[in-house]
Amino acid sequence: MKYRKFGKLDWQVSVLGFGAMRLPVINNDMSKIDEPEAIRMIRYAIDNGVNYLDSAYLYHMGKSESLVGKALKDGYRDRVRVATKLPARTIEKADEFDRILNEQLERLDIGQIDFYLLHGLFRESWHKVRDMDVLAWAEKQMSRGLIGRLGFSFHDEFEVFKEIVDAYDNWVLAQVQYNFMDRDAQAGRQGVEYAAGRGIPVVVMEPLRGGLLSKEPPPSVAKLWQRSPHKLSPVEWALRWVWDQPEIAVALSGMSTMEQVVENIRLADSSAAGIITEEEFKLYDDVREAYRSLRPVQCSNCKYCMPCPNGVNIPEIFQIYDDSVMYDDSFIGRFRYSGPFGINEENRADRCEECGQCEEACPQHIPVIDWLKKVHEELKTPPAPPG
């Protein structure tokens, strides 16, 4: 296993972290983790050098943390640092902070959570918990020894990321969605550099874009990869890009099978920073554009159509649909649109009243109304779990 310095801490983190959000389950029920197999996978990872374990209050319908706690018995707790998260977007009152933290400590059955993250921050959720004095509350929990250090995970634009980074001097980490397709999305490369420049280690989630980049690529993309003398798998191409950047401390992988654990550890063992050539970076650029050319709507996310007077989240809906077609994955499209954590019903495409304001504003001249009807029809049914 390879290790990297973790910001200002006197500690080296494994380049591969275990994300406990896609553990093996029974009968495709995300709330029913296959405990013996999940524990076997986590312990195998730790035995092979993984020392960063990531969970959250909401993962596996609230069952992930308890499973992690069981995996950490028999001496495994002392060999890893544990991260879990406060569900910022679901918090309604400040007195929920204590209740949730106490519940998490009980689930994990540990005395201290090493890294406690504000989960999935975007502008509104950040302002909400900030105004509830979550930072002062967290400082109190650190003084009590219940939390080791405070971090955050993030899903919004760079300016919001910068605001959050600048709001607190003692962030221990910033967790961002980052992969070769999302180089310029959300916090993006700019956010990675901004955090690293302030000594904040960057933890990458979705290096495989939720598994989409691990799939067999479409022919136009596969043909491009063949230009390289390196005959790598899609997973290798994706992880290699993330690990090439020295600012990245650890890449999390939500592994569902032992085969994935073994393969990712093998790839981590051979990882290195600064090995991708200029020619290979050009190849990644070409692959990115080849994927994007497959998008049916071709929305540029300029947001000129927003705000919609009827509350429709037009850019996000089109991004979900474009992704589902680009990666040939209708399951993920329906999950992100109409699944339990998908778009709120009041922001879905069927709320469109065809006023035409969006089409007048769209610089791409997209027939927004027609596309909204098509997207809703194709994605309105929540997906059954994959068999």
Q: 3-state SS string over 113-166?
A: EEEEEEEEECHHHHHHHHHCCHHHHHHHHHHHCCEEEEEEEECCCHHHHHHHHH
Residues of the chain with pLDDT below 70 are: 385-387
Helix (H, G, I), strand (E, B) or coil at 219: helix
pLDDT at position 303: 85
pTM: 0.89
Query: If you count DSSP H runs as helices and E runs as strands, how many of each does the chain have, helices first?
Result: 15, 12
- The first and second tokens of residue 187, run together, are 């916090």
The DSSP bridge pattern shows strands 12-14 and 3-5 to be antiparallel
pLDDT at position 385: 59
CA–CA distance, 315 with 297 (Å, rounded to integer): 10
CA–CA distance, 45 with 190 (Å, rounded to integer): 31
Instruction: Mention every residue, 6+ apart, whose C-beta is less than 8 A from residue 105.
Output: 111, 113, 146
Domain spans, the chain? 3-277, 314-379
pLDDT at position 363: 87
Assign a CATH topology to domain 3-277: TIM Barrel (3.20.20)
